[in-house]
Structure formats: structure tokens, C-alpha cells
Amino acid sequence: MKVFTTFSLLLTCRLATAWRSHRGCLCTSDQSCWPNASEFSQLQTQVSQPLVYPSPTASACYPTSDPSGNCTEVIEQRTNGTWRSSMPGSMEAPNLETFVFKNGTIDACYPNTTITGTCGQGRVPVIGVDARSVADIQAGVKFAVKHHLKLVIKNTGHDYLGRSAARGSFVVWTHNMKNITFNPTFVAQGAPENETYDAVTLGAGVQWGEAYAAVNQSRRTIVGGSAASIGAAGGWLAGGGHSALSPTYGLGVDNAIEISVVLSTGEHLTVNNYQNPDLFWALRGGGGSTYGIVTSVTYRTYPPVPAQKYLFRANVTNSSAMQELVGELLRSQPQFTDDGWGGYGSMNNHTLFFFYAAPNMTRETANATTQAFTNYARSLEPYGITSTAMLLSVPSWYDFFEEVFATVASGGANTMVTSRLLSRGTVATEYAAIAEVLISCGAVFGTVAGGKVNQIDPDSAGLNPSWRNAVVETLCKITWEDGASSTEIQRMVDEFKEVIAVMHALTPLDGSYFGEASLFEIDWKKTFFGSHYSTLKSIKDKYDPLNIFVVAEGVGSEDWNKELTCRSRT
């Protein structure tokens, strides 16, 4: 169906009325309202694959939990994001599989079985649909609505806010929707026939490693994420979709042409700038698992071009000199991004490292646009800094990805992160103080904004408007070992909150990237969505009046209790 029809609105009203007559809570597996075996058997007849019973990643190490499991594989592959994403119960960060009771007891599974002796389900969903088609998703959604189930949507589990899991929940797992279709003269539904794109349509389960390989075989380039295991049509796009290519071609939301989505009514819509443009606007940056379940995204592609790569490393023995160097790098971000450089880096008290790349840049231009920073770093050698800088040519962007990102470990550590989108004004005035914080927290950063991103109308998508002023994204994180007590974790969280507070005070007008953030961000509505929140909320209410799609600090979540299981307001 191409538009949100009058019939759809009537159906939605009837469902909403039925929902309001219910007690306003979502059912979890520990309650009597949970469907019985017969009801799940009926669901089984409506889907193409056997229902899945997700288990925590390390359950294979507990024979009583998973007699057919392989603990050796768990130990060897636990940091492999692609491996983790292939399982319906595995999350990128293992701590998001765990559940902490009010008394501090942690329900979890660990590869080291001596920590607990037993394997708990934690926050991992207990049953769900292995979706291979739109019809599978529709069946899953209708079942969840009928039984008022706590619903989770999961593709890869790459989510630091834990939105891919919920204790006692029902999951729609989209990971196996791997269809990839090319169309060199794609026309969006409802668009003028002469408005064509060389485009690719990616199913909900396609990951960036798969998408890059397919697009490269078609001799094209696409704006995508850094890790091969990240989903190309899910939370990455819903949070904005940043890329090392963004300074040149914009964010993922700027390159999405059309999106297909299943609503809580079960209706399957195809949305774009001509059909249901408000929902298309919201799905591009307004948060994942909030308005419906995306089934596919169509992106524009670009001709393949060579690239220049700038590698920089500095070893430092003087803390004040390190602060000077990082401060200068922050101040240089507008120039780097405006020239087309994008990439990633990290720092600590002793080392600064980053790798940038620029598509379709000559070696001469690469040298001219990096020389100032290289020279500045060398000027600090008398103060305890030893640095190296290299410029290398790569045949194509895909070669850059294969060399740098394809084998990057992207999971397996208990992690919380916080991010800030540093604006041009911020890096010009607060660079010194911010550099001090970033060094102390051992930050990583991404030159994934600026340039083209800053040239696009902030209201062109539901994306946080802070992106349109940002030139770099910075991240601080905390990690801990398996078996850490809730008291130990809380101590680290308290220190983590202090870092968040300091960064917020230094950058009050800057936002945070929804895909790489924590539940402790200050003023989350403004931080994640900025001035777009009220509009996003009205779109949420229109397309999901049942509020079956609710996630932590997503649009509309303020209407729910802390556990996101019962509405606190009607």
C-alpha cells in the first residue's frame, strides 16, 4: 500500500481503542498474560521459519543451558562482531545481555563458568520470529499487538543503549533479510519519472561488509558504517548514519531515497519524499525501533574513485604537550572535513593515532591539506612529542575499507559509551579544556561530520540538528571484566557520569549521537533529538498510536515507566 489510507486510519483507531481498554502494560514472560504453547504454535503456522529461542552468547559454556553448544567457539569468537550478530540472543556488548536485580545480583552467562555456575537469561528475549520476509514481520507484529507483548526488534545487536534486548521479551529478528537489489535508474514511488538514481536496495538484515562487497562488484560506492558487522538498514540509519565518507557525501540519512516499514497495524508502507514524507523524515535520524520495523532501505550510490590516506601517530612523554597537540587537532577539524578528510582515531596520555581518507583527492592536494598539522606536530618535538605522518594512495574506497575496517573487532567487551558532536564553535573556543577531558578518558573520535554534512538543511530529516554544525564526534567509555560486582560497576558509572557532566558543561549546545551514547546523557530529548523532538513525537503518535514500539530514551519513552513495560501516562 502506497499511502496511509483512510481505511488504515480507521483500523488504527479501532486498535488504539482496544489498547486503551487494556491495562496499558506490556506482557513479559514471567506473567500469566504470556501466550501459552498453543498460541505460539498458531504463530508458528503463520511464519516461514521455526520460532527462535534466543540464548546469551556464552550459554554454550553451560551444558545444562545449551547441550549442543561449543564453548571453545565462544572463547575464540567472542570479539568477532559478525559472529555475535549471527545469533538472535547475542549483543555487541555482553553487559547488555545481563540483568541486574534491585538487590544487586546479576543474572548473566560468562565464558568463565566459575563466576556464577549457572547461566541466566538476563535481558535476552525468550522467543521470537526469525523474519525472512515482510509477511514474517507482519505476523510477528500482529501477534505482539494481540497479546500486548514487550516487543524487541533486533538485527545485529550493535546498540550501546540496549534497545536490542529486554528481559522477558518477544523479538522480531530481521538479521536474515539479506536481499540486495541494484537499479541504475531507480525512481522512488510517487516521484517524477525523470528523478532517477543509481541506487541499491538493502534488506533489513544486510550488514555493511556485505553491502560494500556487493556495491563494489557493481563498480559503485556507497556511504556506510565503519565495521563490517554493523547493520546497513537499521539503527545505523535511524541514528543518522555516520561514515568516514560523510564529509564528502553526507550522512546515511542524506543518501536514503526510500524506506519500507511495517507499522504496528501490520500495514507495510513504502515511504519517501512523495509518500508519507513525515514518516520518511522521522525514520531518517529519529531513532530506531520507534515508529515501525524497517524492512528495506534504498540508498543512492556513487562512481568508484581513488582515495588518499593520511596516517598519523604521535608518542608523547609530556602531558601538557599532548594537550597542545590534541587541542590543535580539534581546531583543525573544520579544515580537514571541509577538504573532504574523514576517518577515526584514538588517544590516551601517551599516544595519539588517527587514519583519515579523502575520496577523489590528488596527492598534491592531500599533501597541501595535511601539511599544516604535520608541521605543527613536528614543532612540538622539543617538548616530548615524537610523531610520524604518512600519505598513501589507495585504488578505491572499498580498498580502504578492506585494509582498515574489514577485520576490526567490534564486540565482546562489557562497555558503556558517551559521545558528543563537537560543533565548529566549540572546537574554536573550548579546544583546550575538551582536549584535557578526552585525553584523560582515553577517547576515540570520528571525523564523520563537517564538510557536506554541514551544508545540508538541518530540517531536511528528523536527524538531530546538532549534526549540521558538528565537525567531529568524540567518545569516552568505560569497560569492566566479566564477574565485576554491581557495586564495582556502579562506582565506574558514577565516575562516568562525571565525565558526561563535564563534557555537557563544556558543550551545552552540542548534541550526542543516538547510536553511540549512554542512558546517562543529560537532557536526553535535547541531546539526542534537539529541536526536532516535538515533531518526532507527533509523528510517533500518528504511526504508532498503540505505542508497541518503545525503547530506552526513544521518542515517546517518557510516557512509560522505568522498565518500559507500563504506560505512566494515558
pLDDT of residue 314 exceeding 60: yes
Q: Which element (helix H / strand E) includes 320? A: helix 319-338
Mean pLDDT (whole number) for 292-321: 96
CB crowding 41-68: b at 16 or more within 10 Å, else e: eebeeebeeeebebbbbbbbbbeebbee
Residue-level pLDDT at 2: 46
Residue-level pLDDT at 66: 77
The residue written with cell numbers 519524499 in the block is 273
pLDDT band for position 8 (cuts 50, 70, 90): low
Residue-level pLDDT at 407: 66
Residue 361: phi, psi to the nearest 5?
Answer: -110, 140
Give yes or no for a contact between 120 and 44, defined as CB atoms under 8 angstroms apart.
Answer: no
* Cell matching residue 392: 598513501
Residue-level pLDDT at 1: 41
Mean pLDDT (whole number) for 251-267: 98
Residue-level pLDDT at 68: 77
State how far the Cα of 234 lies from the Cα of 223, in Å rounded to an integer: 14
pLDDT digits (tens, 9 = 90+) for 510-537: 999 999 999 999 999 999 999 999 999 9
State how far the Cα of 477 lies from the Cα of 419, in Å rounded to an integer: 9
CA dihedral 14, 555, 451, 300 (to 10 degrees): -30
Residue-level pLDDT at 11: 52
* DSSP per residue, 113-143: TTTTSS---TTS-SEEEE--SHHHHHHHHHH
State how far the Cα of 44 lies from the Cα of 124, in Å rounded to an integer: 20
pLDDT of residue 93 exceeding 60: yes
pLDDT digits (tens, 9 = 90+) for 95-140: 999 999 999 999 999 999 999 889 999 999 999 999 999 999 999 9
State how far the Cα of 278 lies from the Cα of 256, in Å rounded to an integer: 14
pLDDT digits (tens, 9 = 90+) for 355-370: 999 999 999 999 999 9
**% of the chain beyond a pLDDT of 70:** 95
Confidence (pTM)? 0.95
pLDDT digits (tens, 9 = 90+) for 43-68: 999 999 999 999 999 999 998 877 87
Helix/strand number for the chain, H first, E second? 18, 17
* Domains parsed from the chain with CATH numbers: 37-173 (3.30.43.10), 180-303 (3.30.465.10), 307-400+407-525 (3.40.462.20)
Mean pLDDT (whole number) for 312-316: 97
Residue-level pLDDT at 537: 98
Q: Which of 3-7, 50-54, 201-205, 449-453 has the lowest mean pLDDT?
A: 3-7
Q: Is 301 helix (H, G, I), strand (E, B) or coil?
A: coil
Residue 389: phi, psi to the nearest 5?
Answer: -135, 135
How buried is 346 (Cβ within 10 angstroms: 0-12 exposed, 13-18 middle, 19+ buried)? middle
> What is the three-state SS of 333-366?
HHHHHHCCCEEEEEECCCEEEEEEEEECCCHHHH
pLDDT band for position 409 (cuts 50, 70, 90): low
Give yes or no for a contact between 15 and 145, defined as CB atoms under 8 angstroms apart.
Answer: yes
The gap from C-alpha 146 to its chain's centroid, in whole angstroms, comes to 29
Specify the amino acid at residue 6: T
* Cell matching residue 273: 519524499
Q: Which of 517, 441, 11 is nearest to 264 (CA)?
A: 11
Rg of the chain over Cα atoms, rounded to whole angstroms, equals 23
Q: Is 391 helix (H, G, I), strand (E, B) or coil?
A: strand
Q: Which of 116, 111, 127, 115 is nearest to 55 (CA)?
A: 127
What is the rounded average pLDDT for all residues in the chain? 94
State how far the Cα of 549 lies from the Cα of 153, in Å rounded to an integer: 9
The gap from C-alpha 24 to its chain's centroid, in whole angstroms, comes to 29
pLDDT band for position 20 (cuts 50, 70, 90): very low
State how far the Cα of 79 lies from the Cα of 163, in Å rounded to an integer: 20
pLDDT band for position 21 (cuts 50, 70, 90): very low
Give yes or no for a contact between 495 and 478, defined as CB atoms under 8 angstroms apart.
Answer: yes
Tell me how far CA of residue 246 lies from CA of 81, 96, 241, in angstroms: 23, 29, 9
